[in-house]
Amino acid sequence: MTDPVAAREAAVLWPTYARPPVVFTRGEGVRLWDTAGREYLDFLGGIAVVAAGHAHPRVVVAVAGQLATLGHTSNLYFTGPQIDLAERLVDHFGPPAKVFFSNSGAEANEAAIKVARRHAKQHKGEQAVGIVAAEGGFHGRTLATLAATGKPHLHPTFAPLPAGFTHVPYGDADALAAAVGPDTAAVLLEPVQGEAGIRVPPPGYLRAAREIASRHGALLILDEVQSGMGRTGRFFAHQHEQVRPDVVTLAKALGNGYPIGATIATAEVADVMRPGDHASTFGGGPVACAAALATLEVVEPLLEGHVEKVSARLKDGLEELASRTGPGAEVRGLGLWFALDLPTGPGAKEVAAAALDRGLVVNPVTDTAVRLAPPLVVEEDEVDEAIARLGGALAEAGR
């Protein structure tokens, strides 16, 4: 990034982001181009967002066509794309279920917390407001979702946060069972923790969480904002364990870059809400829903073998790199969502910066772990190219 661009940004934008020195101007498929015309392989996908790839023709046509027809009415009126999309998502979740649309993952989780407390107060009493979440979990940056987020270092700046949130070690079913009780409204978990470094829980953990929540009349909310929409090879990550949550949240890849979030709940849970309990001016607008419907058309066929095939290629390549990088190196993840954790030597920031210099976009999701979440349309030759570039970056960073 040139100094004038950085200076212009510093003069007019809040200083909430630490950006690498690149300005992207164009994308197509799995590739990006910067202001100098340099090409990059995008193996971050806008943080697991661009599942259908950049500028996918089907999504472009759907968005442009809907915007040219009807761009916005607010939720005071019916629109066809919203109902069409809700029906598609209910089919994936399993009926009977109902959807609330918003604009982001944080908003989707906020709605999930609200419906859980509404449900608990109706069925368990006014005192049943507790939300049990996991250490290391990330659920958003609104005050309530920040309180739910199991990263204590993020809390003090914005304290006091809403009360009623408890955190237990992720993957520990005994700790979860000990924390859930008669005043618990819901258990809120990620099926795979994204911002903690793509951490996959032990087998049976989600099934145990389902049983624990049910035993106490609490809801099981699964945050699939990052893991959903086929990222792990199934439409929902919880489908790997054949668990049915009461509520699931989606965002990120749902609109392939067009902002949209969804909170899907069983009909019994959703029906505790009443007009005026929750709302969103832009949530589920016709253009966002058109983008999501087009994205589904691209993503759904990829889950019939493509993601599994390309995932195996990516995992093999990452494990080969890990085997050559020193003690403790680890590959974690599912589908097209991996972390290469490098606990010794240069940190993840140095590796990600070296990768960017080689035309590969990844990110340091933790101090030691590099995250890879390419578009689901990625092909095996692009995986091989990315692994070669990442290998070069590791060598440069001194691994």
CB 390 within 8 A of CB 382: no
| Cα within 13 Å of Cα(73), Cβ side | 14
Q: How many residues does the chain have?
A: 399
Q: Which of 43, 93, 101, 138 is catalytic?
A: 138
Is residue 223 part of the annotated active site? The answer reads yes
Q: By three-state DSSP, how is residue 393 classified?
A: helix
CB 194 within 8 A of CB 226: yes
* Distance (Å) of CA 288 to CA 74, 256, 257, 292: 12, 10, 10, 6
Which H, E and C letters describe 138-203, residue by residue? CCCCCHHHHHHCCCHHHCHHHCCCCCCEEEECCCCHHHHHHHCCCCEEEEEECCCECCCCCECCCC
Encoded amino acid at 22, one letter:
V
Is residue 174 part of the annotated active site? The answer reads no
Q: Which of 98, 236, 252, 315 is catalytic?
A: 252
Can you tell me which residue has the tokens 């392989």?
Answer: 41
CB 295 within 8 A of CB 55: no
Pairing, β 247-250 against β 219-223: parallel
Q: Which of 42, 223, 246, 341 is catalytic?
A: 223
Is residue 252 part of the annotated active site? The answer reads yes
Catalytic residue list: 138, 223, 252
